[in-house]
Amino acid sequence: MISQVTSRPAAAQHLRDLARLRRVRDRIDREYAQPLDVEALARGAHMSAGHLSREFRLAYGESPYGYLMTRRIERAMALLRRGDLSVTEVCFAVGCSSLGTFSTRFTELVGVPPSTYRRHAARATAELPSCVAKQVTRPIRNREAPVTEPHLA
């Protein structure tokens, strides 16, 4: 009986935390191109940065920063496939402020540098509808891609 009484508030708090985490994830999805950091996300969710990071990782398998960078890289891949923007323009369009960090993270997730991806991806996905191209070129999450030559064609 006592365990039921004490578990109800804990369960209710857990549900409130999950709702906050969903709002944080939705905010990242919407505002990926804006300057976002864990402290700002935590303030918006009324949580400490440490608590947000721990709970977000438990719920989604990666840190809020990792999730943000994955969203940015996904959007960068779409912009690079279009082929009308330079890598630098794409870097800043998706909210990254450092071309070096952007290129490093892009290579880790996709397996090739953004310039190589840009050269080959437009040709490889030219005949595919954009919704299909997005699915087949989605970056690898929660593990890093092996560095290989692009096999997009």
Q: What sign has the CA pseudo-torsion 42, 76, 57, 29?
A: positive
pLDDT in tens, 24-59: 999 999 999 999 999 999 999 999 999 999 999 999
How do residues 96-107 score in pLDDT, each as one tens digit?
999 999 999 999
For tokens 């004490």, the residue is 6
Angle at 14 between CA 9 and CA 15, to 5 degrees: 100
Q: Is the pLDDT of residue 125 over 70?
A: no
**Could you tell me how far CA 8 lies from the centroid of its own chain?**
33
For a pLDDT cut of 70, what percent of the chain falls above it?
Answer: 75
Q: What is the mean pLDDT of the chain?
A: 84
pLDDT tens digits for range 51-88: 999 999 999 999 999 999 999 999 999 999 988 999 99
Q: What is the pTM of this model?
A: 0.74
Percent of the chain with pLDDT strictly greater than 90: 62
Per-residue model confidence (pLDDT) at position 17: 86
pLDDT in tens, 9-19: 788 888 888 99
**CA pair distance 124, 114, nearest whole angstrom:** 15
User: How remote is the C-alpha of 102 from its chain's centroid?
Assistant: 12
pLDDT at 149 over 60: no
69 closest CA partner among 110, 39, 125, 120: 110
3-state secondary structure of 49: helix
Structure tokens at 122: 């437009």
pLDDT of residue 1: 45
User: How much is the pLDDT for 60?
Assistant: 93
Q: Which value, to the nearest 10 degrees, does the dihedral of the CA atoms of residues 23, 26, 32, 36 take?
A: 10
CB atoms within 10 A of CB 28: 21
Write out the two tokens for 126.
């030219």
Q: Which residue has the tokens 């809020």?
A: 64
Q: What is the pLDDT of residue 5?
A: 47
